Each structure stands twice: as structure tokens, then as C-alpha cells.
Amino acid sequence: MQVNNSFKLMAVLIVAILFFACRKIDLGNIQNLNDGQVMVIGHGGSGFPEFSNQLPANSWTSIERALEGLNANAVDIDVQLSADHQLILYHDGRLESQTDCYGCIPETESETIISCCYRNNFSNNITDHHAVILLEDLLEHYAESPFTFLLDLKPFGQCTEDIIVDLDTFATVLTDLVVRLKMEDRIIFNSFFVDLLAKLKALNPGFRVFKDGVNFDENFSEATTIGFNGITMSNLDIDEDQVSQAHDAGLWVILYSVKERFGTADALRKNPDGIITDNIELLQNFLD
Amino acid sequence: MARTLDLGLGSRKERKGGTKDTFFLWVSSILAFGIILFSIPAKSQVIFSPSAVTSLSYTGFNFSLGVTAEKDKFSIYVGPKLTLSDSYLVTDGPFGFSSSFFFFPNGRDRKFSSFINFDYQVNFQKAFCPTGTCSRKTNFTHEYNLGYGFVYQVKRVGLMNAINIGRYSENFYNQLTQQRFKNSGYNTLIKIGVIVNVQKQDAGE
């Protein structure tokens, strides 16, 4: 009798779980500028590190896993300029926050930087060694591939309070690399720094340039005034009507700060053209 | 860097029988656990108990309902699992299987008992198909972990907690490149579970 009751309890639990399963979003009716498709963009590769994702953001393996493993359309990677004018993939202002090195990217030679290993999780210390990489190596590797790269441009260093990177140099080095590899149609330049984006657009009007910002009105105004191609914003800072307003002005909208189930569903309901996510599998589970 | 990406469709022969291999591995591990469990000469009989286990690991937050078979100082748990971290509609998965082998050095018939635990879990998920017209291949992730934990017995209900470390190994099929991608690394597993002892005397009685 007690055996029966226990199994009944389990059966009730299973039914309860299935009952509370969400209803599917109508993906056939997404109104955007990307032909109703939503670009799946891995944040820093396959998501920023956490308990269930040990791979460092911007590392080769994380990017490879997102593109070649999970079939993401694109990755959002952070780009800084080293002292010897090499483009480095790194998120933070200081190297010591994530690696075994010390200093800031704009004040350090690239040879030193690419010898730095990420150290901010146990796994990386014990079993794996992921180094900081050059944008040039990555793009050369994927030059013939169909993948898109959203370059989050960071012309700053926290070693000093002021911007210490020469924006002209930054824009020129980026332009030379992308044009040399003929990847203009598969690179999205994204930044908070309007001046840098404007220089890129001036160097090559065919570049896809997106303005990042926290205030929709300011972001929208700057993007439309200068003639950028789109805006990127946190999912928390923009609503469905504002996305629609941007689309009406011909601006693509890419949303970030998306990771959990609720946030992913919320972002999809706003009809974005792309979503930068820390959980590629979950977003694909929605879209599939 | 001396890396190459071959995007020629079908240029690399796809690894055959991925899903079957995974299922075979899982069944083999269960059989191995079972043989160990049932070959142990013991006075006590095998006790089967319904169990529910939640776990947090590389694959995220998982939930599993299954059966624990217990004999003397050993027990095994097997059951299907659902990975909630990557799931929007839970009826769509990703699904998997979970199995654990437990050894209780000081026996099981006490209020508070500790154990050594080997855990094997596998996850299945349909490979992403952006066009909707792909042949449906499967992604899978294996997790092998070894650790320790304890069971606290309240009446007929055992509350279980375990901390394990080990490796994960994932194998994804990319619809675009039509190739499989493999990746492995360090894994940490934390489990909390409930075991309902339906056939035995209450602990401490």
C-alpha cells in the first residue's frame, strides 16, 4: 500500500511539472529587419563563465564551441588595442582581473599579452590552459567561414582614467584587417564610443556599425544622426515599441543581458534582429 | 595558429552511431553497477525505493526521477532526467539519463550515513536547425564524477546530498558545417535528493 502511495506521489510530481510547462512563443510572426530571423549571438563565445560554464569569455575554445559546436550565427567578442597596435580579445580593463598577468592592454605589448593565461576558475588552473588571443588569428582562421563577428570595441584602459588609445589608430588597424580578409559583410562594429564608430564609418561606409548605449533616446538619436546601421542595448533598457521605432528608422536592434528563460522570452517578444546570450542552447531551444 | 576549419560539406566523415554509443555507455554503466551490487554476498535483500534527485553541474540544473536499489552497504540509482537550464518547453527536453553508484562504508541503517559516490549522467538535445529543414542529429554531453556525500534519514525519507568532481565530455553536431565538435573539461556536480524507503524499517526504530 505504501509502495503504491509513493509511486502515486512521484506520478503527481511528473504531471505537475508537465502542467506548468510554458506555452511556445509565436516565432513565425517576428517583425524585424532580419527577415523574421533572430541572430543567435554567443556572449564572449559560448557565454561568460559561471558554475556551469567553465570556459573563459573571449578564449579560443569558447568561441569555437559557440560557432563550430552549438551552431551560433555569431559571437560577441571584446576588442582592445595593445601598445604595439595589435587587436586583442579581452573584456576587462586590467589583465590581472582574469589572467596571470598584470597591467592594461593599451600599455602592454601583444607578445606579453598572448602569453597570459586565464586563471579565474578552478578548471582552468588544474586541467585546461586558455590563453588571451589576437583578433587577427581568429579572423584569419574564420575568414572563409559563414560566421559573423560582433566586435565590441573598447578603446580604454583602467590604468589611467582617461582614454589613452588613439582612436584614429584603432579605427585604421581594424579597417585594414577586415578589408584585407574581405570580411566586411560578416563583421559588426559595436561600441559605446561614438567617435570611434564614426571614424570607422568614415573609413569605410560599407561597414556595419552599431551604437551601444543605456538610454534609448540618446542611442537612437546618435545612431540616426551619424548614419549607423543599428543599436545594441540591454534587454532591460528597451521595450517593444522602441524596438519598433528603431526598425521604422531602418536601424537593426541587437539585445543583450539575456540568459535565463524569462529574459529570453521577454527579449524575443520585442522582435529583435539578434540576441546576445549567455545560454546559446536555451535560446536555440526557443527558436527551434 | 595552426588550426584549420574545413567547411566543405560532408568532407569529414561523421562519427557513426553517436546516440547509440551513448545509450550503450549508459546501459553498460548500469549493468556494471548492478553486477557489483547483486554479486555482493549479503544477508539483506535488495530494496527498491523511488527517488528524486536535483543536480547542478556543467550541464546546468537537472531534475531526475528514478529508482534506488539498495543492498547491504551498496546502492545504485537510475532514472531519466530533464535539464531545466536549457529547456523552454520541458516536454521538448533536453532529456537524459542519470545513474549513481553509492558505497556506505559504515552501513546504511542509521540516522546519518555518509557515502562514496560515482555518478554518470548523459544529456541529449536535438542539434539546432535554423532553417527547419535539417536532418535531426543529436548533441550529447557525458558527465563522469566521483565524490562523497551523506544521507539524513527522517522516518522513511532519506535526504541525500553529494559533492562530486570529474569531467564532462560534449559532442555537438553543427548543421552548418555538417561536422561534429568535441569538447571536454573539468566538472563539478552538486546533488540534492530524496529517497523514499518504502520497504524497510524506520531508521532508529
Task: Establish if B92 touches chain A: CB-CB under 8 angstroms.
Answer: yes
Average pLDDT, chain B: 80
The pLDDT confidence band at residue B88, using thresholds 50, 70 and 90, is confident
The pLDDT confidence band at residue B11, using thresholds 50, 70 and 90, is very low
User: First-to-last CA distance in chain B?
Assistant: 67
CA angle B90, B93, B98 (to 5 degrees): 110
Confidence (pLDDT) at B3? 42
Confidence (pLDDT) at A4? 62
List, in sequence order, every beta strand (DSSP E) within chain A. 39-43, 74-81, 87-89, 133-134, 148-153, 187-191, 208-212, 230-234, 252-258, 274-277
Question: Is the pLDDT reported for residue B9 higher than 80?
Answer: no
Cell (9 digits) for A3 = 509502495
A177-220, pLDDT tens digit by residue?
A: 999 999 999 999 999 999 999 999 999 999 999 999 999 999 99
Classify the complex by whether its ipTM is higher than 0.90, answering yes or no: no
Residues of chain A where predicted confidence (pLDDT) is lower than 70: 1-10, 13-24, 120-128, 157-158, 160-164
Confidence (pLDDT) at A119? 82
Confidence (pLDDT) at B21? 58
What contacts A70, CB < 8 A, 6 or more positions away? A42, A46, A280, A281, A284, B128, B172, B174
Confidence (pLDDT) at B147? 94
**Across residues B179-183, what is the average pLDDT?**
90
Q: Which residues of B touch A73 (CB under 8 A)?
A: 130
A residues 225..284 contacting B (CB < 8 A)? 261, 264-265, 279, 281-282, 284
- Rg over alpha carbons for chain A, rounded to the nearest Å, is 21
Q: Compare CB distances from A137 to B1, B50, B52 and report the shortest one's residue.
A: B1
Q: Are B194 and B52 in contact (CB under 8 A)?
A: yes
Confidence (pLDDT) at A72? 94
Which chain A residue shows the shortest CA-CA distance from B181? A69
Confidence (pLDDT) at B92? 77
Which chain A residue shows the shortest CA-CA distance from B86? A282
Task: Establish if B94 touches chain A: CB-CB under 8 angstroms.
Answer: yes
B94-146, pLDDT tens digit by residue?
A: 899 999 999 998 887 788 899 999 999 999 888 888 777 777 788 999 999 99
Confidence (pLDDT) at A121? 61
Confidence (pLDDT) at A157? 64
Cell (9 digits) for A214 = 543605456
Return the closest-CA partner of residue B141 out of B200, B189, B70: B189
Q: Compare CB distances from B86 to A123, A127, A279 and report the shortest one's residue.
A: A279
Q: How many CB pairs under 8 A join A and B?
A: 122
Distance separating alpha carbons of residues A285 and B5, to the nearest angstrom: 26
Q: What is the largest CA-CA distance in chain A?
A: 79
**Do B198 and A17 make contact, defined as CB atoms within 8 angstroms?**
no
Distance separating alpha carbons of residues A47 and A228, to the nearest angstrom: 27
**Across residues B174-190, what is the average pLDDT?**
88
A residues 126..165 contacting B (CB < 8 A)? 126-128, 133, 137, 141-142, 144-146
Distance separating alpha carbons of residues A258 and A161, to the nearest angstrom: 30
CB atoms within 10 A of CB B26: 19
B19-51, pLDDT tens digit by residue?
A: 555 566 667 766 776 666 666 665 667 888 888
Question: Is the pLDDT reported for residue B150 higher than 60?
Answer: yes
